[in-house]
Amino acid sequence: MTHHPKERPNSLSRRGFLLRSAGAAAAVSGAGPLLAACGSTTSESNGAGGEGPGGLPLARPDKRVTLPRWEDPIESGLEPETGGTFTVFNYPAYFYRKLLNEFGDKYGVEVQVTPFDNINSGLQRLASGGVEPDVMEITPDTLDIGVAGELIKPLNLDYIPNLQKNIWPQLVDPFYDGESRYTVPYTCYATGIAWRTDKVTEDIAGMDQPWDIFWESQAYKGKVGLLSENRETIGMALLRKGITDINTEDPELVNQAVSDLQELYEICNVKVDDLQYQTIPEGSSWLHQAWSGDMIAGYIYYLPKGTPASALGFWRAPHGKVPVQNDCFAVCSTTKKPVLSHLFLNYLLDNGVAYENFVDFNGYQPPLNEIDPAALVREGVVPEHLENSVLTDDDLGPDSLQYGTLTSEGQQLWQDGYSNFLAGGGS
Amino acid sequence: MYRRWLWPASALPGVLWLVLLFVVPFYAVLAVALGTVDPILFQPVPTWNPLEWNVGWLNEVFTRLAPGGIWFDVGVRTIVYVVIALALCLLIGYPVAYYTARHAGRWKGLILILIIMPLWISYMMRMLAWVNLLQEDGWVNEVLMFTQVLSEPQDWLGGRDLTVILALVYGYIPFLILPLFAALDRIDRSHLEAARDLGASPWSAFRRVTLPLSKTGILGGAVLITLPMFGDYYTPNIVSGAPSTSMIGNQIDLYFHGGPQPTIGAALTIVLAAFLTILMLYYMRTIHRAQREAGTVGAL
């Protein structure tokens, strides 16, 4: 029997989570504490079979999870709070300041942005009480921590009609957050390869395995980079070897991927950074693992005068073989303005706001129904040869490749592997 | 009675400062390194009671740093970078400090201000400025090519050991020059005059008198710049970004920046601090010996 959260006499506290997940420090209990506490699971499957933080099932594109609500959402029909500040906890410069100001003007609040370096460290700051934001950006692979730690609040979608109205069906009821109980999507992107077409001579898109370009890049030594994200870096090395399980926790596969990455020290003195949106257009990097939004942002903002758009190249693998992801927004438990926070989520899904944020500021595409890659090319937003930077609803389907939450042991394995790669070998 | 407590009491603010800003934070890092991790949030859960400390993370760090371990190379690289950077700092900084203390005359104040001036700008901004200067079409290449030192532009930012070492030198050298200047400036000139009167050549007087008397300044400055250099991670990040030039601080940064093992980062910090303590002890022993030789210890 499935219990609706309102039927539960008491909300489950974080302490309850911890007590139920007592046991080894690094591993969560096998009992699925949060789900057990709900009486029976509201998830439609057990995800990938393992358990993430708090015993929550691991969601995968083909294994959908509906997360239990740890408290009731706010009631419908409430008036938004006004006055004071409204804090957005996000990556720096990832939301158009003009749009934030317009939201603030509309509701009589001062919108401030508190930046974080990455979502994991942001969640840790939130948990420590060091920040008290109203809304924050979160990703599907960190969602379990937010929910199990009671750091984000369940949503009342009555306040967010734009979700149903404007957003791709795949993300209205996404696999990682069935019924959109905690999140709404913000941007989406694929991981591929960006390069300077005037410097890199190989036909990357025509190669049997385009990821091999990094292992054949001796001529570009010092100008080659990978993303500084352990999932992306190791995941890319797995894909190169034809392993499409980019959430594997098999030590042999992960260690082999790390060993392959270490070959790049000698081959091209590989760098790791997330500056490709700037360094490729400016020409200080010639070949870089990149997200699809990077080249659009690079084209809009960083391409120097006199450098043609055709100098930018981007490749991504075909559907089903390319890692795709989306960022989300959620309401933080620390908010003193829960209604306004819901309205902010609705605001960012407004067609006009989302489109303006995309084309006039960050270059990362919102998953809007009305966005059509061909139309973006026609309107000159995206150069024709970068049309593959624009995703469609199909790209995030059940057969897509997406980095999902790992078990605690899996996260250790990937982090240690990345540490090994980052150590740089003998110099 | 009043006089008996007056002077010891004057040390109280310093002691409080040390306790609040060194002993307590250091104990907190120790409690984190030897503690556990919240299974949901992956936040470190400090263990304050030493009887309950878990040394497993420390063992893990030692294993990784040992020969054959995954951090052995980055550990060796860090030591090599710091030793070379320190040597270069001394080679550049000593003559500057010597000239300022002994020969600058009325320009002394101005030179000191010029040495300190870069510190008015944040370290990060100064490094980012160098990124512009070191670009292939940047001023460094232009000057070196104009002076025909180079025939073609170099990719200084392409992940080079030399760039990281020079950036460390640039970033930390003022902190070496200042204590060196203070030590050299304190040297009583009558010692040098006595040496010269007794027939010592200028070089011999420097080697036998000035250099030994400035030893505490050399060591003080060396300790002052070595400690932060060992923990530095942003310098290699900014001017290189290549794993082949990463330092041990990058590993601490990685483990503290999210993920399920913040205790590894804390344990590595402890091991690094223990290593640096050895340098510190040597410095303190040298200072103590110098003071004893000068007759200041015990005189109080």
Burial (Cβ within 10 Å: 0-12, 13-18, ≥19) of residue A184: buried
d(C-alpha B58, C-alpha B72), whole Å: 15
The per-residue pLDDT for A49 is 58
- Residue B132 in contact with partner chain A when CB distance is under 8 A: no
d(C-alpha A230, C-alpha B191), whole Å: 61
The per-residue pLDDT for A46 is 38
For A2, B98, B135, the CA distances from A23, given in Å and listed in that order, are: 27, 62, 53
Mutate to test the interface with A, among B37, B38, B41 (most CBs of A within 10 A): B41
The per-residue pLDDT for A426 is 63
The set of residues, in sequence order, having a beta carbon less than 8 Å from that of A182 and lying 6+ positions away, is: A67, A143, A146, A147, A152, A153, A154, A155, A330
Per-residue confidence band for B20, with pLDDT thresholds at 50, 70 and 90 = confident
pLDDT > 50? residue A10: no
pLDDT > 90? residue B216: no
User: What does the pLDDT average to over A195-206?
Assistant: 96
Phi, psi of B2 (to 5 degrees): -60, -45
| List of domains in chain A | 85-188+323-396 (3.40.190.10), 189-319 (3.40.190.10)
pLDDT > 80? residue A416: yes
Of A18, A26, A424, the CB nearest to B245: A424
The per-residue pLDDT for B1 is 61
- Residue B260 in contact with partner chain A when CB distance is under 8 A: yes
pLDDT > 90? residue A380: no
Reported as a single tens digit per residue, the pLDDT across A62-118 is 999 999 999 999 999 999 999 999 999 999 889 999 999 999 999 999 999 999 988
The per-residue pLDDT for A136 is 98
Reported as a single tens digit per residue, the pLDDT across B71-91 is 999 999 999 999 999 999 999
* B230–chain A nearest CA distance, Å: 15
Report domain extents, chain B: 27-70+267-300, 75-257
- Residue A221 in contact with partner chain B when CB distance is under 8 A: yes
Reported as a single tens digit per residue, the pLDDT across A18-49 is 333 333 232 333 333 444 444 334 344 334 55
The per-residue pLDDT for B27 is 92
Tokens, residue A135: 């809304």
Hey, are the CB atoms on A26 and B260 less than 8 Å from each other?
Answer: yes
Phi, psi of A368 (to 5 degrees): -90, 140
The domain defined by B75-257 folds into MetI-like fold (1.10.3720)
User: What does the pLDDT average to over B241-267?
Assistant: 92
> Which one is predicted more confidently, A17 or B1?
B1
> Which residue from A minimizes the CA distance to B245?
A424
d(C-alpha B56, C-alpha B58), whole Å: 5
Nearest-CA neighbor of A130 among A146, A114, A113?
A114
- Residue A271 in contact with partner chain B when CB distance is under 8 A: yes
Reported as a single tens digit per residue, the pLDDT across A148-158 is 999 999 999 99
The per-residue pLDDT for B18 is 85
Per-residue confidence band for A12, with pLDDT thresholds at 50, 70 and 90 = very low
**What Rg, from alpha-carbon coordinates, does chain A have?**
22
Percent of chain A with pLDDT strictly greater than 70:
88
d(C-alpha B204, C-alpha A224), whole Å: 53
> Which one is predicted more confidently, B262 or A134?
A134
User: What does the pLDDT average to over A279-305?
Assistant: 93
Hey, are the CB atoms on B40 and A25 less than 8 Å from each other?
Answer: no
User: What does the pLDDT average to over B90-109?
Assistant: 94
User: What does the pLDDT average to over A189-193?
Assistant: 96
Residue written as tokens 């390319």? Answer: A322
| Least confident interval from A44-53, B82-91, B166-175, B241-250 | A44-53
In the predicted model, what is the mean pLDDT of chain A?
A: 88
Asked whether the beta carbons of A166 and A358 are under 8 A apart, the reply is: no
d(C-alpha A98, C-alpha A50), whole Å: 43
Per-residue confidence band for A425, with pLDDT thresholds at 50, 70 and 90 = confident
Hey, are the CB atoms on A270 and B243 less than 8 Å from each other?
Answer: yes
Hey, are the CB atoms on A124 and B244 less than 8 Å from each other?
Answer: no
